Amino acid sequence: MYDRFQTQRLIDLWLQEDIGSCDLTVQLMIEPGETGAFRMNAREPMTLAGMEVAAAIFQRYEPRLSLKVEVADGDRVEAGATLILVEGPAQGILTAERTALNIVQRLSGIATETARYVEIIKGTSARLIDTRKTTPGLRMLEKHAVACGGGLNHRLGLDNGVMIKDNHIAVCGGIAQAVERARKRLPVLTKIEVECDRMDQVRDAVAAGADVIMLDNMPIPEMKEAVAYVAGRAKIEASGGIRYETIRAIAETGVDYISTSKITQSAPAVDIGLDEA
């Protein structure tokens, strides 16, 4: 889910960055009255995100273009699938092409990477969630892409929840004191999460009434101990060291959530092209 008003503002910035003063190649070679018909297609299997955003980029630059989006965000497609058909003034199509491809390749890359992790933990009670380690300026859309891949969003920003980490605890003098300070002025629908890397901290967080406990880089045996100790009194998030090879074992400890920055920070762009229809 993303806000279309904010996205339009981003599109203007993207187009301005790529075009500069003008598309010199198009201006020199393509006549204003010439038209074209092209299709955006998947060149490898992928989970999609950003289809409507890509279409909006074309129409923002050239409103006379005719576009047909053939798929939806969250769809899984195979290589060769047609994603968008675009027809109309060739100058507009060719100038906006790279900007549209850049964003849809990036977002679909995140959705595809998310879907890979989600598939590995299928059948467990754990849900995959993202982090705030996103590309500056693209957080809203990158978190939308995570949702398209089957993941859940953690905090959208610092104002979305209270996350008490080691440095907060150090300043406040302990977990109990930190949670107490936050609870006094906490908005009624907002949750408190406490980061713990040892069992004594887990016990303190439960005693303080934390809503969510993050197990930060805990070994598997300690995670199991923490899950047994908490026994449903708080939600448990596992974080740190999350990889293809480790996530299944972490999910099987009984944690509620597994967070990783790899689905946003390290997701490779997928291969999508624009070819003549």
Task: Please list the active-site residues.
Answer: 98, 133, 165, 195, 216
Per this entry, what is the length of the chain?
277
What is the rounded CA–CA span in Å between residue 149 and residue 146?
Answer: 5
Burial per residue of 227-256, b for 16 or more beta-carbon CB atoms within 10 angstroms, e otherwise = beebeeebbbbbbbebeeebbbebbbbbbb
d(CA 138, CA 265): 11
Q: Is 233 helix (H, G, I), strand (E, B) or coil?
A: coil
- Write the CA distances from 271 to 40, 42, 49, 108, 109, integer angstroms: 11, 7, 13, 9, 9
Asked if residue 2 lies in contact with residue 148, where contact means CB atoms within 8 angstroms, the answer is no
SS3 178: helix
From CA 83, how far away is CA 277, in angstroms rounded?
12
